[in-house]
Amino acid sequence: MGFRFAALPVVSRRSVVGGIIGTLLTPLVATRARAQEGTPAATSTLGWADELVDDNGKLNVVTTVAPISSIARNVGGDRIDLHGIIPDGTNSHTFEPAPSDAKFLSQADIIIVNGLDLELPTMDLAEANLRDGAELVTLGDKTLAPDEYVYDFSFPQEGGHPNPHLWMNPMNAKRYAEIIADTLTTRDPANAGYYNENLSRYSAALDALDAAISAAVETVPQQNRKLLTYHDSWAYFAPRYGFVVIGAAQPSDFSEPSPQEVASLIDQIKAEHVPAVFGSEVFPSPVLEQIAKEAGATYIDQLRDDEPPGEPNAPEHTYLGMMIRDMDLMLPALGGDASAVTALSPADTYQQ
- Domain of 89, CATH number, reads 3.40.50.1980
Domain endpoint, select from 159, 177, 212: 212
Domain endpoint, select from 212, 232, 261: 212
Q: Cβ of 39: how many Cβ atoms within 10 Å?
A: 14
Domain that holds residue 146: 59-212
d(CA 14, CA 272): 25
- Confirm whether 18 is domain-assigned: no
Asked whether residue 108 falls in the same domain as residue 146, the answer is yes
Domain endpoint, select from 212, 242, 275: 212
Per-residue pLDDT 10s for the chain (352 aa) are 444 333 333 333 334 344 444 554 555 544 454 444 444 445 678 999 999 999 999 999 999 999 999 999 999 999 999 999 999 878 888 899 998 899 999 999 999 999 999 999 999 999 999 999 999 999 999 999 999 999 988 888 998 999 999 999 999 999 999 999 999 999 999 999 999 999 999 999 999 999 999 999 999 999 999 999 887 899 999 999 999 999 887 766 667 788 898 899 899 999 999 999 998 877 677 888 899 999 999 999 889 999 999 999 999 999 999 999 999 999 999 999 999 999 999 999 999 8
- Confirm whether 3 is domain-assigned: no
Asked whether residue 198 falls in the same domain as residue 63, the answer is yes
DSSP string, 120-143: HHHHHHHHHHPPTT-EEEESHHHH
Asked whether residue 178 falls in the same domain as residue 85, the answer is yes
- Confirm whether 191 is domain-assigned: yes
Asked whether residue 208 falls in the same domain as residue 222, the answer is no
d(CA 234, CA 141): 18
DSSP, res 101: H
Burial level of 182, CB count in 10 A (0-12/13-18/19+)? middle
3-state DSSP assignment of residue 169: coil
- Confirm whether 328 is domain-assigned: yes
Asked whether residue 139 falls in the same domain as residue 248, the answer is no
Asked whether residue 299 falls in the same domain as residue 208, the answer is no
d(CA 149, CA 166): 9
